[in-house]
Chains A and B, each alone.
Chain A
C-alpha cells in the first residue's frame, strides 16, 4: 500500500518537474537583467514599451470581437442542432474540429488566395477588410473550443422543455435564445470565450501573414532582438492564459444558478 503511494507521488513529482522546470528557468532568467541580483527590470521595460501597449490592446480588441462573433455563430448553431437536427450533430462536430487538423498556415493561405486584391472580394486590400478577415479566421480557430464548451453546457439543461415552456408563454426565437438559453449556458460560453481569448492573444501565423501588428508578431520580434525581455513577455503571456483559466473556474463555481450547486 505504502509502496503504491510512493510510486504515485513519484509520478506526480516527475510530471511536475517536467512541466514546471522550464517555466521556473524562464522566470528566473527574466529576473536577471540587472547584474548582481534579481529585479523586475525586464518586465518594467516590456510593460512601458508603447509597442507592447499598442499590440496588446489591439489583440485584446480582436479577441473580444472574435468572442462576440463566436457566440453569435456557435450558440444558435449548437442549440438548433440539439433541438431540431440531432442527426447532424456528428457532421457539425467534425466541421468544428477541422481547425485542429488543418494548420492555420493553410487556412490563411486560402484566405489570401480567395480575398486578395485582385479577387471579387478584396478584403486584404484594406485595413477594415484585413481585420474582418482576421476576426473571421480567429473565430474559425476557436471553433473547436467554443463549440465543445457550449454543446456541453446545452447538454446539462433540458433545452426542449425550456424552449417549449418559453414558446407557450409567447416567446419568439430571438428571446428564447437571448433570455432562456444563453444565460443558462453562460458559464460554458465563458469557458469557450476565455480559451478563445488565450488563443487570439498569442496567435502569430494569421497576424504575420496578413501583416498586422498584433501581440503575436510583437512577441516574435522581441524574441529575435532582445535577451531578457522575451522571457518576461512569455511569462506575462502565460500569466494571461492562467488568469483566463482561473476565471473559468471562478465563474463556474460562483455562478448564482450554477449546475454545480444544483
Chain B
C-alpha cells in the first residue's frame, strides 16, 4: 500500500459531481502534481486530503491510517495557500512557530526549530518582520517554512506560485523542489501551469472534469498522452483529422494521403481518429530516421527570434513545426512546396 492512498474518492456539491472515482497512491517522499484547467477538481481533491472538504464517498489513508473522517487540525498535514495566508498580526518567527506552540513544544525547542526553518528558506535575517513588510516571494517562503516546521506527514501546495511574477515563480519552484528533496517529504502540488508540473514533479496527475485522465512521469505525460485532452492540454500539439484504413496493419489516411505507422492500432477500420504530433518531432525536408514523409506547401512563417515556427499545409490541414534560427539560412517563404518528415513512433493515434 502506498504512503498516501486515495481510494475511490468522490465529491458532489448538490447535483454537481466535481470529483469522480479518483484513485491514486503516492509513495513516501514522492512529489506529485495535480495538473488541470480551472474547475477540473484538482483543488477539491487536495482540500479533501487536507480535511477542509468531506468526501461524498471514498477513503483517504495516510501511512495505513484512515483519515477520511478526521478533522483538518488532527491530520498532521502542512498546507501552503495561493494567497500565502500568513497571520498578519504575527511576525515571521511567530508565524513559523505557530504550529509548534499549538503542539505544545517548549520555547527553546520552538526557537531552535524556527531558526532552522528560517535558514532552510534563506531568510534568517527577517524573523522580526511582519508579513506586510515582505515581498510576495518572501511571504510564500515563510508560508512554506510555517507548514514544514511542524514536520507534517504530507505537504500540500495549492497553486503557491500563481500570485507571483514570472521570474520569482521560476526561482521559487526550484527552491520548493530542493527543500522537498532535502526533507524527503511526500508532497502534492496543485497547478494549472504545465511547465511547473512537468519541471518539478516525480509524477503528474492530469485532471479533467473531475477525473484523473492520466497519471505518469512528466516524460510519459508529454510524450505518450493517454487521452486527447491530455495531449491538447500539455504542450503544443498538432491534431490532424484522419481515418483508420487498416487497424491491424497500422495504416491511416490523412485526407487522400496514406500513412503507414507499422503497428497495430486500436479501433476498427473506417473509424475517424486524430493524429497527434508535437511540433518538435516534425522536421522540414527528408531526414534519415524519420520514415513518414508528407508533401505540402508553406502556409505561415512566424519568426520568434531563436525559434521559427512554420505552418505547413498538408492534405488540407496545417502542421506546425519549429526550427532553430540560422543566420545564414533565411526561413522559406509562404507558398514554397516542401516536404516534412516525422518518425512513425512520434505519431500518436487518438480517438476523435
Residues of A within 8 A of B (CB): 157-158, 161-162, 164-172, 175, 179-180, 183-184, 186, 256-257, 259, 261-262
* Contact flag A164-B85 (CB < 8 Å), given A169-B146, A170-B99, A175-B102: yes
B79 touches A164 (CB 8 A): yes
The 3 closest A-B pairs by CB, nearest first: A169-B99, A161-B85, A165-B85
Query: How far is A53 from B208 in the complex, measured between Cα atoms in Å?
Result: 72
Taking A165-B85, A257-B88 as given, write out 6 further A-B residue pairs in contact, using a Cβ cutoff of 8 Å, ordered by the A residue number.
A167-B71, A168-B79, A169-B73, A172-B73, A257-B89, A262-B88
A123–chain B nearest beta-carbon distance, Å? 38
Residues of B within 8 A of A168 (CB): 50-51, 72-73, 75, 77-79, 147, 156
Query: How far is A180 from B102 in the complex, measured between Cα atoms in Å?
Result: 12
Q: Which of A168, A175, A179, A180 has the most CB of B within 10 A?
A: A168
B283 at the interface (CB under 8 A from A): no
Q: Residue of A at shortest CB range from B102?
A: A170
B150 touches A169 (CB 8 A): yes
20 contacts between A and B (CB under 8 A): A157-B88, A158-B83, A164-B85, A165-B85, A165-B87, A166-B98, A168-B73, A168-B78, A168-B79, A169-B99, A169-B102, A169-B146, A170-B99, A170-B102, A170-B103, A180-B87, A256-B89, A257-B131, A261-B132, A262-B132
A21–chain B nearest beta-carbon distance, Å? 44
Interface of A is mostly: helix
A167 touches B88 (CB 8 A): no
B85 touches A158 (CB 8 A): yes
B3 at the interface (CB under 8 A from A): no
A211–chain B nearest beta-carbon distance, Å? 44
Residues of B within 8 A of A180 (CB): 87, 89
Query: How far is A158 from B84 in the complex, measured between Cα atoms in Å?
Result: 10
Residues of B within 8 A of A (CB): 50-52, 71-79, 81, 83-89, 98-99, 102-103, 130-132, 143, 146-147, 150, 156
Query: How far is A261 from B133 in the complex, measured between Cα atoms in Å?
Result: 10
Residues of B within 8 A of A165 (CB): 79, 81, 85-87, 143, 146
Query: How far is A132 from B265 in the complex, measured between Cα atoms in Å?
Result: 83
A167 touches B85 (CB 8 A): no
B73 touches A161 (CB 8 A): no
Residues of B within 8 A of A257 (CB): 88-89, 130-132
Residues of B within 8 A of A184 (CB): 87-89
Looking at the complex, which one of A158, A186, A256 makes contact with B130 (CB distance below 8 Å)? Answer: A256
B87 touches A162 (CB 8 A): yes
Residues of A within 8 A of B131 (CB): 257
Q: Residue of B at shortest CB range from A180?
A: B87
Query: How far is A161 from B131 in the complex, measured between Cα atoms in Å?
Result: 15
* Contact flag A170-B150 (CB < 8 Å), given A158-B83, A164-B79, A165-B81: yes
B71–chain A nearest beta-carbon distance, Å? 8
Q: Residue of A at shortest CB range from B78?
A: A168
A159–chain B nearest beta-carbon distance, Å? 10
A82–chain B nearest beta-carbon distance, Å? 16
Q: Residue of B at shortest CB range from A161?
A: B85
Query: How far is A157 from B131 in the complex, measured between Cα atoms in Å?
Result: 13
Residues of B within 8 A of A170 (CB): 73-74, 76, 99, 102-103, 150
Looking at the complex, which one of A161, A172, A183 makes contact with B89 (CB distance below 8 Å)? Answer: A183
B175–chain A nearest beta-carbon distance, Å? 20
A167 touches B73 (CB 8 A): yes
Query: How far is A127 from B49 in the complex, measured between Cα atoms in Å?
Result: 55
B3–chain A nearest beta-carbon distance, Å? 18
Q: Residue of B at shortest CB range from A261?
A: B132
Query: How far is A157 from B84 in the complex, measured between Cα atoms in Å?
Result: 12
Residues of B within 8 A of A179 (CB): 87
Query: How far is A167 from B71 in the complex, measured between Cα atoms in Å?
Result: 9
Residues of A within 8 A of B150 (CB): 169-170
B130 touches A171 (CB 8 A): no
Query: How far is A165 from B52 in the complex, measured between Cα atoms in Å?
Result: 10
A161 touches B98 (CB 8 A): no
Q: Which of A167, A183, A184 has the most CB of B within 10 A?
A: A167
Q: Which of B79, B85, B131 has the most CB of A within 10 A?
A: B85
Query: How far is A186 from B73 in the complex, measured between Cα atoms in Å?
Result: 25
Query: How far is A58 from B67 in the complex, measured between Cα atoms in Å?
Result: 54
Residues of A within 8 A of B51 (CB): 167-168
A57–chain B nearest beta-carbon distance, Å? 33
Residues of B within 8 A of A157 (CB): 88
Query: How far is A175 from B98 in the complex, measured between Cα atoms in Å?
Result: 11
A79–chain B nearest beta-carbon distance, Å? 15
Query: How far is A63 from B51 in the complex, measured between Cα atoms in Å?
Result: 41
B52 touches A164 (CB 8 A): yes
Q: Residue of B at shortest CB range from A186?
A: B89
B73 touches A164 (CB 8 A): no
B130–chain A nearest beta-carbon distance, Å? 5
Residues of B within 8 A of A167 (CB): 51-52, 71-73
Q: Which of A157, A162, A175, A183 has the most CB of B within 10 A?
A: A162
